[in-house]
Amino acid sequence: MNGYNDIIDLPHHVSKKHPHMSMHDRAAQFSPFAALTGHGAAIEETARLTDEAAELDESRKEAINEKLMFISESAESSPEATIVFFVPDGRKFGGEYVSVTGKVKKIDAYKHDIVMTDGRIIPIENIYDIRFEHSCDE
């Protein structure tokens, strides 16, 4: 015996209060959802590798200091230089080494920064190496 015989021939109910739901909206009720929102991004962030800032020995510090003095003495000619420096990561320990080539606008001794002609500011304490495009390099 069929348990639905008493209702099988009744008309389909249509609500007078609620509008008819589209098939798209009805299907969306049953679609999967991300229970761990942001978990994938957190895993990617943890897996992202960063470099550790190198500790400079005295000879490298002295060489960088001499090159900074050369730049400040030849400010009028504004020599083209490639500066390699460490940029700390904003979200985790470590960072990355970045190489910038351009002309130095000025050396700000008060803030301990190098200001490039393109507006980029490089902290002097983060510099790893300075190379010149011409033969003034040692």
SS3 labels along 54-67: CCCCHHHHHHHHHH
Please state the rounded mean pLDDT for residues 14-27.
Answer: 89
CA 119 to chain centre: 19
- Is 42 strand, coil or helix? helix
pLDDT at 98: 92
Q: Is the whole model's pTM more than 0.75, yes or no? A: no
* Multiple choice CATH, 58-132, 1.25.40, 3.40.50, 2.170.130, 2.30.30: 2.30.30
Where in 31-94 does DSSP place strands (E)?
80-88
pLDDT at 66: 92
Domain locations in the chain as residue ranges: 58-132
Please state the rounded mean pLDDT for residues 2-15.
Answer: 86
Percent of the chain clearing pLDDT 70 (strictly above): 94
- Residue 117 and residue 105 in contact, taking contact as beta carbons nearer than 8 Å: yes
**pLDDT greater than 90 at residue 6:** no
Please state the rounded mean pLDDT for residues 66-93.
Answer: 85
